[in-house]
Chains A and B, each alone.
Chain A
Amino acid sequence: MTAPQGTYDAIIVGAGPIGAEMARVLTARKKRVLILEAGRASGLSYDDWLSYVDTYRSALVKEPNSPYPPNPNAPSTYAQDIANVHGRVPVISGYQVERGPLSFASTYLRSLGGTSLHWLGTCPRFVPNDFRLLSTYGVGRDWPIGYDELQPWYCEAELALGVAANKEDQTHFGIWFPDGYDYPMERIPPSWSDGVYAKGAEGLTVEFGGVSYPVAVSSLAQARNSIPRKGYRPIGAVGVEHVGERCEGNAACIPICPVQAKYSANKTIARLDPRYATLVTQAVASRLLIGENGRITGVEYKRYADEGSNQYQTLTAQGTLVVVAAHAVEGAKLLLASGAANSSDQVGRNLMDHPFFLTWALNPVPVGAFRGPGQTSEIASFRDGPFRSDFAAFRVDLGNWGWDIATFPPNSNVQELVAGGVIGRSLRRQLADEIPRQLRVGYVLEQLPEARNRVTIDREFMDPIGCHRPVIHYDVSDYTRAGMVAAMKLSDALFRNMGIPPKDIRTHFTPSSPGYMTYRTEDGRTVPLSFYGSGHHMGTHRMGVSRTDSVVDRYQRSWDHENLYVVGCGSFPTVGSANPTLTAVALALMAADDMLRRLA
């Protein structure tokens, strides 16, 4: 690697999907771009990728970051570091410092490609009311833009990520598509178990607040290679393009697709035009330098040669425009450490995730658990509706991998049976009898922006090369907890309609369940709940119409620094119930377009 020379049209901090797609757009228009990536240069050859696959295979706990070895100089949180807080704060065992009262249960990855190396690839659009929650339902905030304005950028983002879907399956709650448009690839075939759910949901309605909501199963939009439509060529693995041109059903999208059939940003980075793009890895942006007129005059970064040593050089890069695309947590940290972009005092605040609630049961007959991508169908019926004045919207993921993170099959089953003295043919038969019948329903819940949920920094908590570790304050409000109670009501109705006897509905929560908490209902009952992280860190540098209460404008330009863009899921004012990457990429493409206008 050589040190970058001279001045760039743009410096992009972060080689995840947002930074990569912006770099693609800018370099295609011959703008000179420097990309600074904190982590290692992962996934730029297929042999390198296969070494991660082997690490995954030999990992005892196959959590989202398990294929990617820890990098002390650009640390990431590993799921096994996340523990329930139980009133003992701070929790400092992992990379992120938990200040409570609840643990922020999500992880992300600091490596080339970012968290897109381990994401699932789910790509629904936001519904129009997600952009106007306050004016429609009296809660949360409105966005500075609406669905109609973002719509063309959604089309671009779906092409960039390679989304497989049929548009007629996706027209939920006012989502519309332009005439003649369709997704680049046909929808991923629904799994056999999706069919079981669809049959079970036939004719089902659930009532909330006197309104009856019909329940419908529909196909899920996914950035995963499928049968291409007119002229589109699926993008396969880096270095061996004919591998991964279709999803091969490895059933390991999280944490790693062995054939790279799902979108990962390393695929975009590998295709950047080297005449215009300069990539520097193992370069942790540590400070934005601010000039007298408020312009960002440089990006200071720490370059380490070796993951095994905390030796580094401090360097500075200069660019006309600066883009922080470093992830909602890391980006907020960088702004806070630089004293940048924070005249509103909103940087780091309004941290949101989609708390992920699970229910699980045994179907009377096998559904073929552990086959196909993590999810191929959803229930979108509760993504919008008048209930949103009272409780959180949710999108329902119908899992294809048995009870998955609820109980960790099939390992837990084998261990329990063998410990109970079951071996041989009875072991084989009992595994065959139960696991293929496992059903797991996940509920991706909306969370409202709250100033108290935040990322901060503290000189007490630093990493080996002297950068801040994130310090997180996090709670889940009653709005979202009430949404979980509603999800439970839907779950009971759905499982009953599927013909599952009560003894085979196995959902249960104890104080040792991940994200254990309770909810007190209006009639005075205390309901135990539990949630997981969705890995959707959002809200920490929100966009708005006013510099007094937002960090960036509609183009994700900082109100405080005219040449600084702060992009990604951190810009979301509210989060609906759609997985955020597609929307973040759409916003990023809109921002890149604005940059091109300014660089012209």
Chain B
Amino acid sequence: MTDLGPIDSIPSLQAHLQAALRVEHATIPPYLCALYSIPDGTNLEAARVIRSVVMEEMLHMTLVANLLNAVGGTPVLAEPEFPLRYPGPLPGSDAAFEVALLPLSDPALATFLRIERPEQAGAPPQPGRYHTLAQFYDAIRDGFERLVRDLGPDAVFTGPRERQVDPATWYYGGGGDAIVVHNLETARQAIDEVKEQGEGSARSIDDGDGEPAHYYRFLELRAGRRFRQGDTPESGPTGAEIPLDWTVILPMRPNPRVSEYSARPEVQAKMVAFNRAYTRLLRELQRAYGGEPHRLREAVPIMYECRYQAQALMRMPSFAGDGTTAGPSFEFDAGAGFE
């Protein structure tokens, strides 16, 4: 893992924001694998919790893209190195843990808790080799403030307004509203939104929108209970039970790869089809973040397509013949056609 270095120039700020885009994206496939391993119509509450987190992560990608566009950068998604190779550490992190593609399970929830771990009081901002994502975003926030102070806002916020995704264009599934970034204040708002929806803090469960932050929502799932009024990080959730039927969870073999399925050509073809849809999605998102925000609309049907293909893969026997199933591998497929 190359160190991202300090944020001391516009290019280094752009590099950090591009890394942040990768990080936000890297969390989505693990969440989706957990979500899609829950058969439709079962475990409704758990599915809703994970879905709400996925929607917020997608909003975070959009917010980071707005930040990057605001400082004259160009978000890059459609390239082979953009998706994380699972299992692997979060891009730019101190590699203290790896994220993997798993069905909903205790190891999966443990990973999610690591991803969304709250910042400990007094933890310093970390532009690279960060321990928590909060430290990384603190460093980016500091970077913005420093550069605006040193160079003046006009030299920092040079990106064209029409590249910004605004709330009317971004709506999907209630992750919250997109924030148009054009000055230090809106940049801070966007960064705070990403931070608070994700990790909350070690002191409060709330994410600022009146909902528990992701970290605490995963704690709820792991404990099988909701937080209620008066609960604290120390008390843990003491509210209503979240009924979870673990027997129906689809047993996806962890970290699927297309290359493992050469002896199962039918399943392999479906994995490739998934990756092609996924790659088309990355291309649509890149175009949407690259000056054609209305393309987010075109991306939505592809997201759904990916979902149904992934759900089918999780019911196909894996190559191992041990009762586990195949799954979506989220690999970039250079052969995917443009549509």
Q: A interface vs B, CB < 8 Å?
A: 47, 50, 54, 227-228, 236, 240-243, 245-246
Contact = CB atoms under 8 A, between A and B. Distances in A.
Contacts, number: 21
Given A228-B168, A241-B174, A245-B173, 6 more contacts: A240-B48, A242-B55, A242-B173, A242-B174, A243-B173, A243-B174
Contacts of A47: 44
A245 B44 contact: no
Nearest to A241: B174
A242 B168 CA distance: 14
A54 B174 contact: no
A50 B41 contact: yes
A245 B171 contact: yes
A205 to B, nearest CB: 36
21 contacts: A47-B44, A50-B41, A50-B44, A54-B41, A227-B168, A227-B171, A228-B168, A236-B174, A240-B48, A241-B174, A242-B52, A242-B55, A242-B173, A242-B174, A243-B173, A243-B174, A245-B171, A245-B173, A245-B174, A246-B171, A246-B172
Interface in B134-191: 168, 171-174
A228 B170 CA distance: 11
Contacts of B52: 242
A593 B174 CA distance: 35
Contacts of B48: 240
Nearest to B294: A227
Contacts of B171: 227, 245-246
B339 to A, nearest CB: 14
A201 to B, nearest CB: 27
A372 B134 CA distance: 42
Contacts of B44: 47, 50
Contacts of B55: 242
Interface string B87-104: 000000000000000000
B45 to A, nearest CB: 10
Interface of B: 41, 44, 48, 52, 55, 168, 171-174
Contacts of B41: 50, 54
A227 B172 CA distance: 11
A98 B173 CA distance: 46
A227 B167 CA distance: 11
A519 B52 CA distance: 58
Contacts of A236: 174
Contacts of A241: 174
Contacts of B173: 242-243, 245
Contacts of A227: 168, 171
Nearest to B45: A47
A71 to B, nearest CB: 24
A242 B52 CA distance: 9
A243 B47 CA distance: 13
A15 B161 CA distance: 47
A185 to B, nearest CB: 11
Nearest to A189: B297
Nearest to B173: A242
A230 to B, nearest CB: 9
Nearest to A234: B171
B111 to A, nearest CB: 25
A245 B171 CA distance: 8
Contacts of A54: 41
A228 B168 CA distance: 7
A245 B176 CA distance: 12
A235 to B, nearest CB: 13
Contacts of B174: 236, 241-243, 245
Contacts of A240: 48
B297 to A, nearest CB: 8
A242 B48 CA distance: 11
A54 B321 CA distance: 33
A391 B168 CA distance: 46
A242 B53 CA distance: 13
A229 to B, nearest CB: 9
A239 B41 CA distance: 17
A215 B117 CA distance: 63
A34 B171 CA distance: 36
B289 to A, nearest CB: 19
A238 B10 CA distance: 46
Q: Counting chain B CB atoms within 10 Å of each CB, which of A47, A241, A242 scores highest?
A: A242
A556 B48 CA distance: 45
A245 B52 CA distance: 14
A236 B168 CA distance: 16
A245 B55 CA distance: 14
Nearest to B174: A242
A360 B144 CA distance: 63
A246 B296 CA distance: 14
Nearest to B44: A47
A117 to B, nearest CB: 20
A243 B172 CA distance: 9
A55 to B, nearest CB: 13
B210 to A, nearest CB: 13
Contacts of A245: 171, 173-174
A241 B44 CA distance: 16
A522 B300 CA distance: 55
Q: Across the A-B interface, give the 7 residue pairs with the lowest CB-CB distance, nearest first.
A: A242-B174, A242-B173, A245-B171, A246-B171, A228-B168, A47-B44, A227-B168
Contacts of A228: 168
Nearest to A57: B41
Contacts of A243: 173-174
A246 to B, nearest CB: 7
A245 B172 CA distance: 8
B57 to A, nearest CB: 15
A245 B167 CA distance: 13
Contacts of A50: 41, 44
Contacts of B168: 227-228
A455 B173 CA distance: 45
B133 to A, nearest CB: 24
